[in-house]
Amino acid sequence: MTVNVSADMVMSLDGYIAGTDHSAANPAGQGAERIGGWIHAQSSWRERMGQAGGEADRDSDLMREWFEATGAVVMGRLMFDSGEEHWGDNPPFRAPVFVLTHRPRPTLVKEGGTSFTFVTDGIHNALDQAKAVSGGRNVDIAGGAGTFQQYLKAGLVDELQVHVIPVLLGAGLRLFDSLQTGPHDLEPIRVVDTPGATHVKYRVLKRK
């Protein structure tokens, strides 16, 4: 069974997915409130977080589509450390999550179908484990930037959707920094424009 490997990233127009000085204690970093604000305003996100309200519009539908398409998740340890407390006992993933790390930790089983398995032997192993339990749905490379870049460079990402927030942050953590392996050719497969974001979905073309 072929499993699609996808990445959805919420990014400022100038390419940042977090602000400056991001850390586990300050996950979004300084100056990236517009990115976090867009995510936390969506009713689909709030529903997954057990919260009422939020915007029930096209942006929210696209986030729901992303959730529903995902059968397993891979993320970096910094994203996990940043989110662990905030996500609580019933994290929004509702799927097995594989966390790349150099620091082993026993698997955490949470409510709602989310588990966190800590993988210390590399990106291929984490992806293979995620594919094996994805039930044929997408494996989502959730981030952060370092994790996404490793999978892109290894030619393992099939689709990338960037949710471009109309703001210029000027500084922070860039999604596409230090790739050093370009060009990576992308084929646009869908564009959805809303006042909140421009959502561009690409197929990542395999290198010959």
Ligand X SMILES: NC(=O)c1ccc[n+]([C@@H]2O[C@H](COP(=O)([O-])OP(=O)(O)OC[C@H]3O[C@@H](n4cnc5c(N)ncnc54)[C@H](OP(=O)(O)O)[C@@H]3O)[C@@H](O)[C@H]2O)c1
Contacts (Cβ under 8 Å, ≥6 apart) of 26: none
CB of 5 to ligand X, least distance (A): 15
30 bridge partner residues: 20
Q: Binding to ligand X by residue 198, rule CB under 6 A?
A: no
Distance CA 34, CA 136 (A): 34
The CA dihedral of 77, 83, 88, 90, to the nearest 10 degrees, is: -70
Quick check: 27 binds ligand X (CB under 6 A)?
yes
How distant, in Å, are the alpha carbons of 50, 148, 199 from that of 57? 18, 28, 14
The token duo for 4 is 């699609």
Considering just the CA atoms, what is the radius of gyration of the chain in Å?
Answer: 16
Paired tokens of 87? 């996500």
Q: Contact between 207 and ligand X (CB under 6 A)?
A: no
**Which one of 143, 174, 196, 199 is in contact with ligand X (CB under 6 A)?**
143
**Min. distance of Cβ 1 from ligand X in angstroms?**
25
Residue choice 173, 197, 200, 204 for contact with ligand X (CB under 6 A): 173
The residue nearest ligand X at its CB is 144
Q: Is 101 in the site for ligand X (CB under 6 A)?
A: yes
Contact string 35-64 vs ligand X (x = CB under 6 A): x-----------------------------
Q: Is 201 in the site for ligand X (CB under 6 A)?
A: no
| 161 near ligand X, judged by CB under 6 A | no
Q: Is the dihedral of CA 38, 56, 197, 166 positive or negative?
A: negative
Q: CA end-to-end span of the chain, whole Å?
A: 23
Work out how close the CB of 19 gets to ligand X at its nearest, in angstroms, rounded to a whole number: 8
Whether the CB-CB separation of 10 and 38 falls below 8 Å is answered with yes
Among positions 3, 5, 18, 139, the unique one binding ligand X when judged by CB under 6 A:
18
By CB under 6 A, is residue 172 in contact with ligand X? no
Query: Does residue 7 belong to the site contacting ligand X (CB under 6 A)?
Result: no
The binding site for ligand X (CB under 6 A) comprises 9-10, 17-18, 22, 27-29, 35, 75-79, 82, 100-103, 122-123, 142-147, 150, 173
